[in-house]
Amino acid sequence: MSTVESRRRPLVGAGVNRVDGPRKVTGTAPYPMDFSVPGQAYGALVQSTIAAGRIVRMHTEAAEGAPGVIGVLTHENAPRVGTGPVTVLGASPPAPLRSDRILHHGQHIAFVVAETPEQAGAAARLVRADYEATEPLLDLQDPRAEHLVDPWGMDTSRGDTAAAMASAEVTLRATYTTADNTNNPLGLFATLAAWEGDTLTVHDTSQWPSMVRTSLAMAFGVPESSVRVLVPYVGGGFGAGLRAWPHVILTAMAARVLRRPVKLVLTRPQMFTSVGHRPSGVQWLRVGATRDGELLALNHRSLISLSMEDNDFEPFASATAFAYRCPNVITQDRQARINIAVPTSMRAPAEAQGNFALESALDELACTLGIDPVELRLRNHTDVDPRNGLPWSGKALLECYEVGARRFGWSRRNPRPRSMRDGNWLVGYGMASALFPYFAQPCAAQATVRGDGSALVRSAATDIGTGTYTVMAQLAAEELGLPLDMVRFDLGDSDMPNSMMAGGSGLTGALGNAVHDACRRLVRSFTELAWADPESPLRGVPPGGVECTDGTIHPVGRPDLGESYVEILARHELSERTANGTSSPPVAEELGMSPAGAYGAKFVEVRVDADLGLLRVARVVSVIDGGRILNEKTARSQIIGGTVGGIGMTLFEDTVTDPRTGRIANATFGDYLVAVNADVPDLDVVFVGEPDRGTATGTKGVGEVGLVGIAPAIANAVYHATGKRIRRLPITLDALL
pLDDT over threshold 50, residue 3: no
Task: With beta carbons less than 8 A apart as the criterion, state whether 359 and 328 touch.
Answer: no
Closest among 383, 376, 378, 356 to 289, alpha carbons compared:
376
Give CA–CA dist 153/333, Å, rounded.
9
Integer-rounded Cα Rg, in Å, for the chain is 27
Question: What stretches of 380-424 adopt beta strand conformation (E)?
Answer: 421-422
* 664-716 tens-digit pLDDT: 999 999 999 999 999 999 899 999 999 999 999 999 999 999 999 999 999 99
Q: Give the 3-state secondary structure of residue 525.
A: helix
Separation of CA 468 from chain center:
14
Residue of 351, 478, 547, 704 marked active site? 704
List, as own/partner pairs, every contact residues 725-729 make where C-beta atoms lie below 8 angstroms and the sequence separation is at least 24, other chains included: 725/360, 725/364, 727/174, 727/175, 727/176, 727/177, 727/360, 728/176, 728/177, 728/178, 729/177, 729/178, 729/179, 729/356, 729/649, 729/650
pLDDT over threshold 70, residue 18: yes
What confidence score (pLDDT) does residue 90 get? 87
pLDDT over threshold 70, residue 285: yes
Closest among 387, 404, 378, 396 to 435, alpha carbons compared:
396
Task: With beta carbons less than 8 A apart as the criterion, state whether 227 and 208 touch.
Answer: no
**What does residue 578 show for φ and ψ, rounded to 5 degrees?**
-130, 145
* 32-83 tens-digit pLDDT: 999 999 999 999 999 999 999 999 999 999 999 999 999 999 999 999 999 9
Element (H, E) at 98: none
Give CA–CA dist 715/730, Å, rounded.
10
- β-pair partners for 74: 110
Mean pLDDT score, 9-13: 75
Q: Is 196 a catalytic residue?
A: no
How far separated are the first and last CA of the chain, in Å rounded?
A: 63
pLDDT over threshold 90, residue 343: yes
- β-pair partners for 304: 281, 335
* 182-237 tens-digit pLDDT: 999 999 999 999 999 999 999 999 999 999 999 999 999 999 999 999 999 999 99
* 140-152 tens-digit pLDDT: 999 999 999 999 9
pLDDT class of 10 with cuts at 50, 70, 90: low
- β-pair partners for 684: 621
327 residue type, one letter: P
pTM: 0.96
Element (H, E) at 181: none
DSSP 8-state class, residue 15: -
Sheet holding 262-265, edge to edge: 69-74, 108-114, 41-47, 262-265, 190-196, 199-204, 227-230
The percent of residues in the chain predicted with pLDDT above 70, rounded, is 99
Give CA–CA dist 44/125, Å, rounded.
9
pLDDT class of 543 with cuts at 50, 70, 90: confident
**What does residue 166 show for φ and ψ, rounded to 5 degrees?**
-65, -30
pLDDT over threshold 70, residue 5: no
pLDDT over threshold 50, residue 6: no
Mean pLDDT score, 265-281: 98
What confidence score (pLDDT) does residue 14 get? 83
What confidence score (pLDDT) does residue 682 get? 87
**What does residue 505 show for φ and ψ, rounded to 5 degrees?**
55, 30
**Average pLDDT of every residue of the chain:** 96
Mean pLDDT score, 498-511: 97
Give CA–CA dist 85/243, Å, rounded.
10
Q: Give the 3-state secondary structure of residue 692.
A: coil
Mean pLDDT score, 369-379: 98
What confidence score (pLDDT) does residue 606 get? 98
Q: How far is CA 512 from CA 355, 424, 509, in A?
A: 28, 51, 5
Task: With beta carbons less than 8 A apart as the criterion, state whether 638 and 706 touch.
Answer: yes
pLDDT over threshold 70, residue 157: yes
Count of beta carbons in the 10 Å neighbourhood of residue 730? 18
pLDDT over threshold 70, residue 324: yes
pLDDT class of 11 with cuts at 50, 70, 90: confident
What confidence score (pLDDT) does residue 8 get? 45
Give CA–CA dist 29/32, Å, rounded.
10
Give CA–CA dist 166/26, Å, rounded.
64
* 580-592 tens-digit pLDDT: 999 999 999 999 9
Q: Give the 3-state secondary structure of residue 261.
A: coil
pLDDT class of 244 with cuts at 50, 70, 90: very high
